[in-house]
Amino acid sequence: MKLTRRHTLMMALGSALAAVMPFRAFAAVEDNIAAFTGGAAVGSEGITLIAPEIAENGNTVPIEVNAPGAEAIIVFAAGNPTPSVATFNFGPMAASQSAATRIRLAGTQDVVAIARMPDGSFVQASQEVKVTIGGCGG
């Protein structure tokens, strides 16, 4: 095969794409977060996310979110094939804006929780969870 100008260009393009790939997975989360917040600034006070530091089984990782006064809390798993995990909307009969559930994690990654407050502001908390056995099958 002769190395033509076109081939050289294609190869350069391919390596450039490969260099960008690791950021793409993270960008998906950023996009999701932007879709929820509408691009607004996100604070960090007034929300707690309780997740284990080490989860032996990625199929059931217990998490708990708590954001006093929040309208809604959305949870993302940054390293999952689909980052969205769940959205909790709290109604007038909710005693506290907290909820606990169990989630799947594909591997070691950050879990992110964002709460929307009634005044339109957003707060965020995140925690890294180390996963021994991933929970996405294969």
Taking the complex as a whole, the smallest distance from the CB of residue 6 to other proteins amounts, in Å, to 35
What is the C-alpha separation between 79 and 107, in angstroms, rounded?
A: 7
| Cβ nearer to other proteins, comparing 2 with 102 | 102
Hey, what are 13's tokens?
A: 């393009």
| Cβ nearer to other proteins, comparing 3 with 95 | 95
**Closest by alpha carbon to 72, among 31, 113, 14?**
113
**Closest by alpha carbon to 30, among 70, 85, 83, 103?**
83
Taking the complex as a whole, the smallest distance from the CB of residue 62 to other proteins amounts, in Å, to 8
Residues in contact with other proteins by the rule CB under 8 A: 59-61, 64, 77, 80-82, 84-96, 98-105, 135-138
What is the C-alpha separation between 95 and 7, in angstroms, rounded?
A: 64
Taking the complex as a whole, the smallest distance from the CB of residue 21 to other proteins amounts, in Å, to 19
Angle at 69 between CA 64 and CA 73, to 5 degrees: 45
| Cβ nearer to other proteins, comparing 39 with 92 | 92
Taking the complex as a whole, the smallest distance from the CB of residue 83 to other proteins amounts, in Å, to 8
| Cβ nearer to other proteins, comparing 42 with 99 | 99
